[in-house]
């Protein structure tokens, strides 16, 4: 049996990007999106320092994905990346900084010019891989026994006009790991393929609790490693996942105060040297020590702005 695993990229990488790839491309009025994608791809092609995708991307989402894939033993893993398009785990790519998460600089730039993230996905893949629907083509050209998709809502939405164009017969054994909100980004007729994982996975008793940004991959690992359901039908899997969730409780999160971007920027700058500029340590300081509420995507956007200001060269 051969499996297909599709995950999202991560903001945390093994190395900082070069100056050329440290800022997302800028879209101006009247500029064709195709030309923007071509210019970005030219920067990618000129980079000499490259890493296997499975080594470039870092953090718990990748750790959990690798653990799950090792159990599956025979799987193609593709990373959904706004900067690189659909990228196989064993592809050599440079480090970069480009994301379409909500309120990111690039996402707002697209929105300002009445462009969608789905349009960008099709365009960057056309330039880099010769097709606007790479996932559809990958699925169409292969006979995978199961397809596992572990991604948050933004990335589920990003591939909307690609993935679901595949032959429904090829998608019948698809298992989706995303948040309850991410489920709303899946076409209605495919929502029963979303496993019933929710906030109850954060119960310490599950052994798979963590942060919101790695929820999908934690759920995937729980499914493969703990429940051992990768050979089950979607109907059986749904019942067993739901039964497991019913034995867990939603933990009460610590109360964190909401502050403006300016305050977060001030605290990051204040503690930059203390934590050597490390994003994860600074975010943990904000959340755990200062009890400041800050989503990872928001933090990463602000952290990157400060990184460019404080340390233009890679750390």
315 band by pLDDT with thresholds 50, 70 and 90: very low
pLDDT score, position 255 = 87
Look at the chain and count its residues.
Answer: 315
Q: What angle do CA 81, 84, 87 make, to 5 degrees?
A: 75
> Does residue 52 carry a pLDDT above 90?
yes
Query: How far is it, in rounded angstroms, from Cα 214 to Cα 248?
Result: 19
314 band by pLDDT with thresholds 50, 70 and 90: very low
- 152 neighbors 182 (Cβ within 8 angstroms): yes
- 244 neighbors 285 (Cβ within 8 angstroms): no
Q: What angle do CA 199, 249, 296 make, to 5 degrees?
A: 30
Q: How remote is the C-alpha of 233 from its chain's centroid?
A: 26
Taking phi over 0 as left and psi of -120 to 50 as alpha, with beta for the rest, 118 belongs to alpha
Query: How far is it, in rounded angstroms, from Cα 237 to Cα 244?
Result: 11
What is the rounded radius of gyration, in angstroms, for the C-alpha atoms of the chain? 20
Tell me which of 28-32, 132-136, 226-230, 243-247 is least confident: 28-32
258's CB contacts (< 8 A; 6+ apart) are 293
Domain boundaries, the chain: 3-246, 257-310
> Does residue 275 carry a pLDDT above 50?
yes
For 9, 134, 173, 295, 314, the CA distances from 79, given in Å and listed in that order, are 6, 11, 19, 22, 24
Q: What's the pTM value of the predicted model, to 2 decimals?
A: 0.85
Task: Give the pLDDT mean for 81-97.
Answer: 97
309 band by pLDDT with thresholds 50, 70 and 90: confident
- Identify the DSSP state of 194: B
% of the chain residues with pLDDT over 90: 82
Query: How far is it, in rounded angstroms, from Cα 131 to Cα 51?
Result: 24
Tell me which of 52-61, 74-83, 260-269, 286-295 is least confident: 286-295
Tell me which of 103-107, 171-175, 234-238 is least confident: 103-107
Comparing C-alpha atoms, which of 46, 45, 27 is closest to residue 36?
Answer: 27
Q: What is the DSSP string of 226-239?
A: IS--TTS-HHHHHH
Query: How far is it, in rounded angstroms, from Cα 114 to Cα 99?
Result: 17
- 78 neighbors 144 (Cβ within 8 angstroms): no
Mean of all residue pLDDT scores within the chain: 94
Task: Give the pLDDT mean for 257-270.
Answer: 95
Phi, psi of 274 (to 5 degrees): -55, -40
Q: Which residues of 226-256 are buried (b: 16+ CB within 10 A; e: fewer)?
A: eeebbebebeebbebbeebbeebeeeeeeee
312 band by pLDDT with thresholds 50, 70 and 90: low
Note the pLDDT tens digit of each residue in 188-229: 999 999 999 999 999 999 999 998 889 999 999 999 999 999
Question: Given the DSSP bridges, would you call strands 85-88 and 75-81 parallel, antiparallel or unpaired?
Answer: antiparallel
């Amino acid at each position: 049996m051969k499996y297909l695993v599709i995950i999202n990229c991560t903001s945390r990488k093994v190395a900082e990007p070069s100056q050329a790839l440290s800022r997302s491309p800028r879209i101006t009025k009247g500029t064709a999106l195709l030309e923007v994608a071509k210019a970005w791809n030219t920067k990618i092609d000129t980079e000499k320092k490259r890493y296997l995708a499975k080594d470039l991307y870092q953090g718990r989402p990748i750790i959990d994905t690798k653990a799950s894939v090792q159990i599956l033993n025979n799987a193609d893993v593709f990373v959904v990346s706004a900067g690189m398009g659909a990228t196989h785990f064993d592809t050599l790519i440079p480090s970069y900084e480009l994301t379409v998460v909500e309120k990111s600089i690039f996402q707002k730039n697209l929105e300002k010019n009445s462009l969608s993230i789905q349009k960008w996905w099709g365009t960057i893949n056309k330039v880099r891989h010769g097709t606007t629907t790479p996932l559809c083509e990958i699925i169409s050209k292969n006979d995978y026994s199961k397809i596992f998709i572990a991604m948050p809502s933004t990335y589920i939405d990003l591939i909307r006009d690609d993935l679901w164009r595949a032959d429904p017969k090829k998608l019948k054994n698809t298992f989706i790991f995303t948040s309850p909100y991410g489920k709303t980004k899946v076409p209605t007729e495919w929502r029963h393929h979303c496993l019933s994982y929710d906030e109850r996975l954060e119960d310490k008793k599950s052994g798979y609790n963590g942060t919101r940004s790695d929820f999908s991959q934690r759920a995937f690992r729980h499914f493969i490693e703990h429940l051992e359901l990768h050979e089950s039908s979607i109907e059986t899997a749904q019942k067993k996942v739901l039964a497991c969730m019913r034995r867990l409780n939603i933990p009460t999160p610590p109360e964190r105060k909401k502050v403006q971007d300016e305050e977060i920027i001030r605290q990051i700058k204040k503690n930059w040297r203390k934590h050597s500029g490390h994003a994860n340590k600074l975010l943990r300081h904000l959340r755990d020590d200062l009890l400041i509420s800050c989503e990872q995507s928001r933090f990463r956007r602000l952290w990157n702005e400060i990184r460019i200001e404080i340390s233009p060269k890679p750390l």
